[in-house]
Each structure stands twice: as C-alpha cells, then as structure tokens.
Amino acid sequence: MFTADGKPSDDDPRENGPTLSDERTTLVDSLRCQRLTLEMKCSGLDAEAMARRSVEPSTMSLLGMVRHLAEMERATFREMMAGQNVRRLFCSDTDRDGDFNGAVPDPQLVTEAWDAWRAEVDFATRFVAEAPSLDITGNDPLNQHGSGGGPLSLREVLVGLIEEYARHMGHVDLLRERIDGRIGQ
C-alpha cells in the first residue's frame, strides 16, 4: 500500500502469506497477491489516468486491464469451470478487444469496471473455496484456456490465471509509471 504522500508503505498485504502450506492454499494465496497488485497499482487514480493509453497504436490502459481481467475471471470460472452460459462483459463478436477499446475516461465506466472485476473475483473465490478438490475439471472445447480443446483441472486453471495476472502486472507497472512515475510495490 501507499502512504498519504504517495510513498510506498511498509505494510504490504501481499507479504507474509502462508508458508509451507498445502497446494490449494499456496495457489489461492498466489492468485490473491496478483489481484492485490492490480488494485494497489490502480489506487488513487482518476478516470482520466485509468484510461490513459500506453503508446500508439496500443489501446492498453489500466482501465482496459481491469476490464480484461474481469473478462478472464468470468470466462475461466463462470463459463469454463461452473458451466454457466453468460455473456461477455465488455467484448463482443464485433469487438473482440472491447475490454481495451471501450476503456475511456468516464468515472462511471471506471466504477462499472471495478464492480465487474470484484464480482468475478468474488465468484471465483467462492467457487475455489467450495470445490471439493483441485482435480475437478471444466471443459475448454474451443481451447480458449490452453487445454488443447478438452478438460482442465481446477489446479491447471489456477496456475493459468496466476500466469495471466503475472504477465499483465508487468504491463500495469509500466502503465502506472507512465502516469505519475510511481514504481515499486
């Protein structure tokens, strides 16, 4: 976290997680830390800063990243693992990059993006907590999650989502640094 003057705090909620834990606890805590990093990197920003693009021709922004990760959480846990037939949040057949393309500097859109992301994270957290084992499977017939077009275990899904977040946290670091120079944590 950060202090009121914008400096990194010594109190980082990602530190001192479980040690020598079982597999589920380790995976869940790793994903929790990635999610916290997204929130921390976006903290204190207004709609204009959240929607600021990286560099031409990219449409990448922090707001787009929140929207993208909400889509990933939804597709992974609601669609693939829970088998729900739900519509996309921001993307469509005609705008496959709607998560980034629609990320414009509107305070209401920022609120909606965070609300959607938090709802998907809450669903995923409950789903994982209630799952009887990491061996349960979801179906990925279109190979959207790297299964080769078949089933994936909850274990594989958690590792895949941790990788998805970790890959994007590098982008988030650079986007935040471009906005106000803030680095670290």
Q: Which residues pair with 152 in a beta bridge?
A: 138
Q: Are 134 and 23 in contact (CB under 8 A)?
A: yes
Tokens representing 17? 């997680």
pLDDT band (50, 70, 90) for residue 148: confident
pLDDT, position 11: 61
**Could you read off the pLDDT of 122-145 as tens digits, one per residue?**
999 999 999 999 999 998 877 676
**Could you read off the pLDDT of 92-109 as tens digits, one per residue?**
999 999 999 999 999 999
C-alpha 127/C-alpha 89 separation (Å) is: 19
Q: What are the distances in angstroms from CA 160 to CA 10, 39, 55, 120, 147? A: 30, 20, 27, 16, 10
pLDDT, position 110: 98
Q: What are the distances in angstroms from CA 93 to CA 12, 90, 97, 98, 149? A: 40, 11, 9, 9, 20
pLDDT, position 182: 83
Judge whether residue 28 has pLDDT over 60: yes
- In terms of CATH, what superfamily is 43-180? dinb family like domain (1.20.120.450)
CB atoms within 10 A of CB 11: 9
pLDDT band (50, 70, 90) for residue 147: low
Half-sphere exposure of 74 (CA within 13 A, CB side): 20
pLDDT, position 149: 75
Q: SS3 of 133, please?
A: coil
pLDDT band (50, 70, 90) for residue 9: low
Query: Could you give the percent of the chain with pLDDT greater than 70?
Result: 86
Which residue's entry shows tokens 């920022």?
110
pLDDT band (50, 70, 90) for residue 4: very low
pLDDT band (50, 70, 90) for residue 14: very low
User: Helices in the chain by DSSP H: which ranges?
Assistant: 23-42, 47-51, 62-73, 98-101, 107-130, 154-180
* Mean pLDDT to the nearest integer, 53-65: 93
